[in-house]
Structure 1
């Protein structure tokens, strides 16, 4: 007997089913059976399920000779199930990584309840992911009515004779009955476990028609059989559900709205409270007047519109006041001891600006440093560091009066560069991919970039920090301006690679949970302009299994993809995407595995092995363009050994090729080309030039 029986009905889902089934079978908790019920699907759904069953004994395919619908298909799957708990997933949805383990832990903690509700998220066809929106801390009846956002104890399902209905809205009756069942123990898990994939078309939810009237019949069935207490509890949720269906243009066509409303109103008059309706939604449906309901809906829409307009007006007024006060501040004298810092579009305190700020506090304590951060990132600011929120009154005051401006990207809001202000652009990497004006030849990666704004920004710089001659050459061409001069001083963020001692490195490894004697690999791929979300081109679990327990892999997704890499729990994989200092991760790693990330140029300072894993080099170089051939094997272009497949990558470590004399020779040439200025004193050189040796012309 398995812990979970996962039932998947399949009908016309050939484009989605394979990913759905893989999302179940790839769970790190494998104690499950997967029952796929082919509902006489005319496409390749059955063949996909059969292929899956052939390679994995946990999968069984059940075929229905004639199309019955998702309700009967789920019932057939539930009858075949032998697991402790039933989990119903639609064939076009996904079970999120780590879901079953989290569900199992919650079930254990609650001592095997009858029903466990969990959160979900949703993704559209553009791959935009957003939260499901359920408040799991409230009434369980208010949670989205679906079979796929909960698990049922199988004995409970059978004892209560629960079953899905035949026809549309098949899950309303069993889901509601399970939630209201006398003596039933229901718990919640506030974690998204299922991803509801919204289809652009072809699904029932996107097909308007009178078939959606069936939801009224489902609630008629429930309310007719309910006792007075359950009826009073259910009616408000029934009214809310019916009104939500009515207001969904993807379900109810304009010509059917009046009839649907009347059916819902009849149901409410029959089973609703005898006194005044307690909520606005119920009052709307209790009127039994479609005209009154439409008036209420339009009034609500107008109120929302008025509220939005008032907010917009208030925002514009605030912006106008800000502009006026900023203009006044621009007439005040500059503060010769004020410097403002920013990094990565106000994401926090990091990179070259952070290293410069720290060194300035040591060597130039008369300089007051203030950071610009966004409101959602202010929690990242360490104690004792002064900051302002972007767009705030204090932000504009600081930008108007600071003498020194230091950033690795750009300051928000279109500030005015004043005579006497000194702007240091530190950049945040050595360019492998095309940058600046060179991106004009690669429109797929520009995403609406204004090249005129790039030039306007460049004209504000006084210094352009460079880590190597290659960067100096590229920056001069792609950010053309006579306003700035190259500051070839090395990258301050790399100083730590020359100053950190063995004790500091050991403390970092201990903090990351890496035991002594283990080899640590840092896997840090960059983002792709043609890809949304972190989708590593490697099965990380299979990779670490092939290497053996001697290895631990630190996984760092690019910051564009959020705060974590979405890994399943594994003792040899550590998700370090949210770690605040990438420099610590580099110090902890015995080798770097990356693709096209500029981190390789920084890591070369450590003179440790760099392994290039580039399975999509051709696609990347064609889509974004590159300044040299990373895979050429030529000295000064390739930092070490190269793999283009997962098998080759594992083979490099198993054979020892990742750390040979030949690889070290390539690394030496790479380091000589790209790290000639880095020696542990870059921050000091920058601070002395910027704050202690006078200013350039403005």
Structure 2
């Protein structure tokens, strides 16, 4: 008996069918049967299915004698199924890699629940990907099983059949089957979910939900949308036959009203002449199924009135929206003018020579180099006043209570930026503030450059998708000083940003803590901000940090180079794998492709949201990365680095690189997962050759990092004092002296 019966009904999907089938048959988990149902498709679907069945014994094909529709085609597949769990996959959608393995592991952990609910991502015809907007519901559900009554938010997810798997014995014992019609998923989902005694969730994207350019079947204009009324009649009949479900009637009553109104409001659903009839049938159903004492308010209150009243309300709503847009535009113009005048008033005042404005990562809080400079200024330059620009009140709440801040766009923000003498940022300031004569802009960057940046992106159209390089350079024209950690960085910045600034050989301020507390020691130290303790990592564990970067040859930026769970298992006892995604991927689908679930199960530690990357670096004993610039920071710790460069040609072709990383790596290079696993199994990841490569890399790319970078910025650039020279034991440049001029280049 297989673990899964994957049932795939097919009708006029020949252009997408192969991708769907391949996504199932190439899964790492192979204990399944694939039952493909040819619903008398008039195109080539039947021949494609027979082709796959001929070469893979897990595929069985049912050729129906006539077209019966999606619901009954699923029933035909269910009748042939022998697996423990039923999975109904639409034939234009696809499974994500590793999905069945993740489902199987979660089912085993939850002791075979009746239903397992998992996540999905919408994949668009133009290449975009967007995770389910209600993904937080799955995280909120927790690891235990539950009923819909115990966690009703589970019903807020899409009422579709393909974001769940169902225990076949449960489906059989309850006599569940699909009804014919357009909205068959609705009439299946509510009875199943309300009847299940044990529901579990898997916080992982398992299905790519294809968004066709012409929309799905429910986007077509047709009277078949009247089917929604029959489906809700079936749901209420199901509940009426089961008195223990009577408490759900008010919820279903409101849900029915909202669903029908949504269909009515969509411009492409019903023929214009049929809308009044649809409304009248909906109000009739709403009246018939209304439970005694049920409140009728909010959106569904309109169903207590007439069709003319509904039209008047819709017209009033549209008029109100149009008026709001016009008023908003007018108010926006007035506000913009008032803001400009307010800023202009303060720009006429003298610059405040003690005022330093800080920002990091597009106003995301106290982070990176600016945070290190700010901390040092508070320590040694008490006369300076530092103010942080943050993007919203939520970000402001993450700041220590004694840190002065302004929210971007506020009047206070305009006043502060109009009068500040100094600006410290690791990315470009936006269009404002305008640079006043006498003000000083210090650009810290976000690490030593490996990937092409700035003007070098002009011949890399994929990498600069959505990026206006000329505008970026115009903003960079405001820089007065560019901080560099090496002569490599200095040359790159001056080439990539052909602007009038002075390169300052300070080192990277955020790396001061790494220089002071690294020294080749173990990650089990007291300098990592409690990272190990927060995540329950044993003190004697070897912490392996995996920090991949984004890919420009994929629109989403995310490419799974290997399975973190596999690496965690191959590392074995006494090791903890910590994963930190690139910040640009933190809010996208990347974490939903398995990382969140692995972290919940304790297989890996997800450090993506850790605000201080230095804490993560200090807590680790070895770094595994591909092409992330974090390797340049980590080299200051003098701890092993392993580069996983299995797609280096594709990466350099799409983005470009300033050095031949495989030839100049900070440690051993793995060109495949097998090589990566072998490095750790053999212990070569920390051998003498690794140390030699690391020393060479550190000497070239960390030459100005000696633990005094932040002090140099504060003393020389903010206070106007002589530039401090290299600290004790720091690598010196031949002929270098300790003066300010020796550490700057025009």
8 Å CA contact retained: 1:119, 1:134 = no
Q: Deviations over 1:194-239 (max 9, x none)?
A: 6561421474234433333322332344557875978776444333
User: Mapping of 1:658-697 within 5 angstroms?
Assistant: 658-693=685-720
Tell me the residue number matched to 1:75: 75
Shift of 1:465: 0.8
Q: 1:167 to 1:313 in 2, by over 3 A?
A: same
8 Å CA contact retained: 1:341, 1:371 = yes
Tell me the residue number matched to 1:38: 37
Tell me the residue number matched to 1:654: 681
Tell me the residue number matched to 2:657: 626
From 324, 339, 345, the equivalent of 1:322 is 339
Q: Deviations over 1:11-35 (max 9, x none)?
A: 2452553576489876xxx9x9666
Shift of 1:630: 1.6
Number of corresponding residues? 676
Q: Deviations over 1:260-283 (max 9, x none)?
A: 445545655766699999347556
From 163, 169, 172, the equivalent of 2:177 is 163
From 567, 583, 595, the equivalent of 1:543 is 567
Identify which range, 423-432 or 275-284, moves more after superposition.
275-284
Q: 1:133 to 1:23 in 2, by over 3 A?
A: farther
Identify which range, 227-236 or 401-410, moves more after superposition.
227-236
8 Å CA contact retained: 1:207, 1:251 = yes
Shift of 1:460: 1.6
Q: 1:506 to 1:272 in 2, by over 3 A?
A: closer
Q: Partners of 1:693 and 1:643 in 2: how far apart?
A: 47
1:510 aligns with 2:524: no
Q: Partners of 1:674 and 1:101 in 2: how far apart?
A: 46
TM-score by length of 2: 0.78
Q: 1:586 to 1:19 in 2, by over 3 A?
A: farther
Tell me the residue number matched to 1:345: 362
From 542, 547, 550, the equivalent of 1:519 is 542
Q: Deviations over 1:604-659 (max 9, x none)?
A: 2223332221222222212222222222x2xxx33232222222222333344433
1:424 aligns with 2:442: yes
Q: Partners of 2:328 and 2:463 in 1: how far apart?
A: 34
Q: Partners of 2:514 and 2:154 in 1: how far apart?
A: 53
Q: Deviations over 1:543-597 (max 9, x none)?
A: 3333433443221110001158341426552221111222222223332222221
Q: Partners of 2:336 and 2:267 in 1: how far apart?
A: 37
Shift of 1:395: 1.4
User: Mapping of 1:43-442 within 5 angstroms?
Assistant: 43=45, 46=49, 61=60, 63=62, 65-66=64-65, 68-76=68-76, 78=78, 88-91=88-91, 92=93, 100=103, 122-125=122-125, 126-132=128-134, 144-148=158-162, 157-178=171-192, 197-200=209-212, 201=214, 203-222=216-235, 227=240, 234-249=252-267, 251-254=269-272, 257=275, 260-261=278-279, 263-264=281-282, 267=285, 278-279=296-297, 282=300, 284=302, 289=307, 293-375=310-392, 376-442=394-460
Q: Partners of 1:540 and 1:139 in 2: how far apart?
A: 30
Q: 1:476 to 1:664 in 2, by over 3 A?
A: same
**Structure 2, gaps ≥5 residues long:** 138-147, 723-739, 741-746
Q: Partners of 2:358 and 2:475 in 1: how far apart?
A: 16
1:17 aligns with 2:17: no
Shift of 1:82: 7.2
Q: Partners of 1:88 and 1:571 in 2: how far apart?
A: 30
Q: Partners of 2:176 and 2:652 in 1: how far apart?
A: 56
Q: 1:312 to 1:99 in 2, by over 3 A?
A: farther
Shift of 1:409: 0.6
SS in structure 2 opposite 1:366?
coil
Q: Partners of 2:327 and 2:350 in 1: how far apart?
A: 37
TM-score by length of 1: 0.83
Tell me the residue number matched to 2:735: none
Q: Partners of 2:572 and 2:38 in 1: how far apart?
A: 43
Q: Partners of 1:350 and 1:16 in 2: how far apart?
A: 43
8 Å CA contact retained: 1:145, 1:171 = yes
Identify which range, 609-618 or 248-257, moves more after superposition.
248-257
Q: 1:330 to 1:655 in 2, by over 3 A?
A: same
Q: 1:551 to 1:277 in 2, by over 3 A?
A: closer
SS in structure 2 opposite 1:480?
coil
Shift of 1:254: 4.8
RMSD after superposition:
4.1
Shift of 1:342: 0.9
Shift of 1:295: 4.2
Q: Partners of 2:509 and 2:716 in 1: how far apart?
A: 13
Tell me the residue number matched to 1:607: 638
**Structure 1, gaps ≥5 residues long:** none
Tell me the residue number matched to 2:625: 594
SS in structure 1 opposite 2:331?
helix
Q: Partners of 1:194 and 1:279 in 2: how far apart?
A: 37
Q: 1:446 to 1:171 in 2, by over 3 A?
A: closer
